[in-house]
Structure 1
Amino acid sequence: MKTEVRGNGGSISLQNPSLFNAPRDSITGALKGCLGSLDGACIEKLLLHCASALENNDVTLAQQVMWVLNNVASAVGDTNQRLASWFLRALISRASRFCPTAMNFYGGSMFQRRLMTVTELAGYVDLIPWHRYGFCVSNSAIFKAVEGCRKVHILDFSITHCMQWPTLIDALAKKPDGPPSLRITVLSFRPPVPPLLNVSKEEVGHRLANFAKFRDVPFEFHVKDDHCLSNESLAVQFESLLTQLTRSKLDLREDEALVVNCQNWLRYLSDETKVNTAHGFSLRDAFLDIIKGLNPRITIVVDEDSDLSAPSLSSRITACFNYLWIPFDALETFLPKDSSQRLEYESDIGHKIENIIGFEGFQRIERLESGAKLSQRMQNAGFLSLPFCEDTINEVKSLLDEHASGWGMKREEHMLVLTWKGHNSVFATAWAHDRVG
């Protein structure tokens, strides 16, 4: 029998007569009790049973648990059903790689992402405050940090195609003493993760330049060619990138205030010391050491507040399931079940789930660490935490007023954290170090 599991990301075909024909009475009592249940705790239990079976090469049990999951998962159901459907896809994807004799996977990656227009990307980041929160906190902190500076240079390490900068340009244009000149440098290399855009970085820069001209802000935009080869692993490409982050190659100028902006980016740098540098640093620590040496006025790090880097598959499933329900639940509050916007946004989360669950080694590029771990890493690297001012707090409150009432904000040590129904979702941090004047 051939069974297809369908969703917005495509279909997965599995050919194994026993997989979805597993008799109900052959499944252990613990699993039988979950059949037809939509309870999140029960779904998590099933996922962990499946993970344990795969880690122990118990193909029969893995197939039986997937059969049960298939009965409760739905790409157009409620929050738990939709989340379960993406975890099921990820587990099938993993099984197809690590248990090829048990099941066959057809069609390459499950998640064939389309390229968005700039207008579509704007709607994407406006959907929930997942990205806009980081933009808001960062821009406010940058605005304060460069007060009194006549020239500003931003090194932008992010995955959102410069969507945050029009707001900053607009704020700089309104300064009573006139705007400073603004120079933004981005990398030609970007991790191959959603959202994806249908225009080049050069075109993005051209559009920003037109907007800055309209707002009378002196502006330059540069794309740094890092000479990375697309057929190399992500770790190798990042290692090549680090060699390009020098004062001369970045054209840093003494009369400019340097800002380093990291939005949902640091997680893609490998944290395995064996991968890379001559000094025994991980790529992540090596990057921070290089950035500190550039002597920025402020370094911003924003990312999702969860630890998804554990070597154990079961640990990653627990952390991932108990964290990524947040965007699924938030979308449930205001979009219909068959909304194309909702399905597309969820499929991008599914892309992340597949990588976290379905891959190992250098192919697993989603290695997120929590805000607390990141803060300790920054301190170990010699950075000093910068507090966020009341103006920043007020701007974030105004932003959250535009969204569902479940969104909130709280201060934690070194961090300002976006919350959903009291659960941490995105952290924002700002850093300087003792060589900043």
Structure 2
Amino acid sequence: MKGAGELMSSDANASSLFDGQLAGAALRGCLDGGCIEKLLLHCATALEANDATLVQQVMWVLNNIASPNGDPNQRLTAWLLRALVARAARLCPTLTAAGGPAASCARRMSVTDLVGYLDLTPWHRFGFTASNGAILKAVQGKKQSVVHVLDFGVYHCTQWPTLIDALAKRPEGPPPLLRVTVPSARPPVTPYLNLSTEEIGLRLANFAKSRSVPFEFNVVEYSHSDGGGFPEQLASCLSALELREDEAVVVNCQSWMRYLPEEGSCLTKDTFLELIHRVNPCVVTVSDEDADLDSPRLSSRIMACFNYLWIPFDALETFLPKESEQRMEYEGDIGEKIERIVSFHGAEVVESGERFSGRMARAGFAGVVFEEEVVAEVKAVLEEHASGWGMKREEDMLVLTWKGHNSVFTSSWAPTGFSHRNQIST
């Protein structure tokens, strides 16, 4: 794969844009985060202005800073540069490939690999732990003999063994029947697993049996005749859901809502929430990244990416060697996210917890405060990781932080204004 510098004319005079001191520092690859941020802003602004010459000049400088094996800023810059080159190819056809680190080859993990991937940082387990705690509290004392979890997530049901174990240990008596339903429609994003969804269900069933928890697993297929992409497929799955009167319905969304569009589809974020509200679940749990990465301006999205996605790059620096294959694969998945946000705007729209709370309130949901017992469980998870990780409360949400910076929010919601359940219908 060619580097970004090789894709540009060799006589590009980058130093004409910057003073000699800045250009010299760039060539030595020793600029700090603030200077890199300015260069990225220069590049994004030039792209927005369709200034191909300036784009090539700034990219030439950035290419001398970026390194997939460097410090966290250099590694993040390498992926941002790759995404910018991909977008710039529309403006300047000679930029035919993105430079920097190699793209992921859609690797498929084993279950063991996936668990290790999710355990590298608390980025994912933070939401799993808080959501499971909220679910247990919501179904505590319910008259229904069945807990039915509608699982909307991209992490292949890795959250549920912990919930099964907790149901087996609860002091209220025999555990209820746990039904887990997943849609066959899934966003085409990492992580990928080398097992089918049905095989995952069999493994969960075996684990539940070992814990004496009655268990059912259902995969709702979408109609291939409906065509379309992920939103259309998910709409088809929702219309085929089967709910029972004797069950407490739980809706769990982990890193899911960002892949639904704001408009232009039969299923948008807001229509999805309307459908969820219609089934009157006892609780809705939502966890996602706490950042606004959906600005209509490329320059704003680049700045948001740089100032937010340094967090996982910096966290990995604390315990994995620079040449670690595991680290590079993890960073590669972040790089794919960057390309979706920068190069192909609309495929992934990340919004902060504050904005999402407003969306939930407009959809007729009220926030549910996490109890102290759940907070203590989350803190115990954080203690297993580097000291830079922390947690704080913002309104009814819990927020995972790295060195004081917000990274992931998790929230719990209950619908308002319902006394009975309707079937989902699209």
Q: TM-score of the superposition, structure 1-length normalised?
A: 0.90
Number of the residue aligned with 2:330: 345
SS at match of 2:218: strand
**Pair 1:405 & 2:381 matched:** no
TM-superposed CA distance for 1:33, in Å, is 6.6
Aligned residues: 411
For 1:287, the equivalent position in structure 2 comes to 272
Distance 1:135 1:229, change over 3 A: farther
1:250 pairs with one of 225, 241, 254: 241
User: Offset at 1:51?
Assistant: 0.7
Secondary structure at the aligned position of 2:406 is classed as: strand
Give the letter for the 1:262 counterpart.
Answer: C
Q: Deviations for 1:112-138, whole angstroms, at most 9, x for unmatched residues?
A: 221111100000000000000010000
**Does 1:184 find its partner at 2:180?**
yes
Secondary structure class of the residue paired with 2:286? strand
Amino acid at match of 1:215: R
Aligned counterparts, 1:162-311, within 5 A: 162-176=157-171, 177-228=173-224, 232=228, 234=229, 237-246=230-239, 249-272=240-263, 275-277=264-266, 283-311=268-296
Structure 1 distance, partners of 2:31, 2:114, is 32
Which residue in the other structure is 1:327 paired with? 312
Aligned match for 1:99, one of 85, 91, 96: 91
How far does residue 358 in structure 1 lie from its aligned partner after superposition? 1.1
The DSSP-based 3-state class of the residue aligned with 1:129 is coil
Q: What's the CA shift for 1:39?
A: 0.7
In structure 2, what residue type is equivalent to 1:267?
R
Partner of 2:106: 113
Correspondence list, 1:8-87, <5 A: 15-18=7-10, 21-29=11-19, 32=23, 35=26, 36-87=29-80
Q: Residues 120 and 240 of structure 1: is their aligned pair in 2 closer, same or farther, counting only changes over 3 Å?
A: closer
CA contact (8 A) 1:226 1:240 kept: yes
Kindly indicate whether residue 125 of structure 2 is the aligned counterpart of residue 132 of structure 1: yes
Identity of aligned residues (%): 58
Change (3 A) 1:106 1:84: closer
Match of 2:340 among 355, 362, 367: 355
Q: Distance in 1 between matches of 2:112 and 2:85?
A: 34
Report what 1:145 is aligned to: 138
Check the 8 A contact 2:65/2:74 in 1, yes or no.
yes
**One-letter code of the match for 1:22?**
A
Shift of 1:100: 4.2
The answer as to whether partners of 1:407 and 1:418 remain within 8 angstroms in 2 is yes
SS at match of 1:416: strand
Q: How far has the Cα of 1:251 moved from its partner?
A: 1.4
Tell me, yes or no, if the aligned pair for 1:189 and 1:228 is still in contact at 8 Å.
no
Partners of 1:351 and 1:229 in 2: CA distance: 30
SS of the residue aligned with 1:271? Answer: coil
Work out the CA distance in 2 between the residues paired with 1:54 and 1:76.
Answer: 27
The residue identity in structure 1 corresponding to 2:308 is Y
CA deviation after TM superposition for structure 1 residue 435, in Å: 4.2
Residue 16 of structure 1 and its aligned partner are, at CA, apart by 4.0
Query: Residues 302 and 386 from structure 1, CA distance in 2 versus in 1: closer, same or farther, beyond 3 angstroms?
Result: same
Deviation at 1:359, TM superposition (A): 1.4
Superimposed CA distance per residue, residues 317-369 of structure 1 (whole angstroms, 9 cap, x where no aligned partner): 11111000000010001111011111110000000001111113xxx311011
The one-letter amino acid paired with 1:153 is H
Name the CA distance, whole Å, in 2 between partners of 1:219 and 1:292: 25
Tell me the amino acid that sits aligned with residue 155 of structure 1.
L
The match for 1:379 among 338, 361, 366 is 361
- More displaced stretch, 37-46 vs 77-86: 37-46
Aligned to 1:159: 154
Q: Would you say the 8 A contact 1:407–1:420 is kept in 2?
A: yes
2:205–2:215 CA contact under 8 A, matched in 1: yes
Report the CA distance shift for 1:102/1:318 in structure 2 as closer, same or farther (over 3 A): same
How far the C-alpha of 1:276 sits from its partner, in A, is 3.0
Q: Distance in 2 between matches of 1:62 and 1:39?
A: 21
Displacement of 1:14 in angstroms is: 5.2
Q: What secondary structure, in the 3-state scheme, does the structure 1 residue paired with 2:2 have? A: strand
Q: Which runs of 5+ in 1 are unaligned?
A: 6-11
Q: Is the 8 A contact 1:264 1:303 kept in 2?
A: yes
Distance 2:61 2:259 in 1: 34
Q: Once the 2 structures are TM-superposed, how far is the Cα of residue 26 of structure 1 from its aligned partner?
A: 2.8
| Counterpart among 374, 377, 380 of residue 392 in structure 1 | 374
Contact 2:86-2:96 within 8 A present in 1 as well: no
> C-alpha separation between the residues in 2 aligned to 1:89 and 1:184?
39
Unpaired stretches in structure 2, ≥5 consecutive residues? 420-426
- Decide whether aligned partners of structure 1 residues 68 and 16 sit closer, same or farther in structure 2, where only a CA change above 3 A counts: closer
